[in-house]
A = this chain, B = another copy of it.
Amino acid sequence: MQDPTEVFRALADPTRRQILKALKRKDLPAGEITAMFNISFPSISRHLSILKAAGLVSERRQGNSIIYSVNSEHLALCLSEFISAVCPTEIIERHRSRKKP
Contacts and interface: CB of A to CB of B under 8 A. Distances in A.
Nearest to A23: B86
Interface string A33-53: 000000000000000000000
Interface residues of A, number: 37
Contacts of A20: 86
Number of copies of chain A assembled together: 2
Q: Is the interface of A mostly helix, strand, loop or mixed?
A: helix
B91 A11 contact: no
Interface in A53-101: 70, 72-73, 75-77, 79-88, 91-92, 94-96, 98-100
A70 B98 contact: no
A96 B91 CA distance: 13
Given A76-B83, A77-B98, A96-B96, 7 more contacts: A5-B12, A8-B11, A24-B85, A77-B95, A79-B80, A80-B83, A80-B95
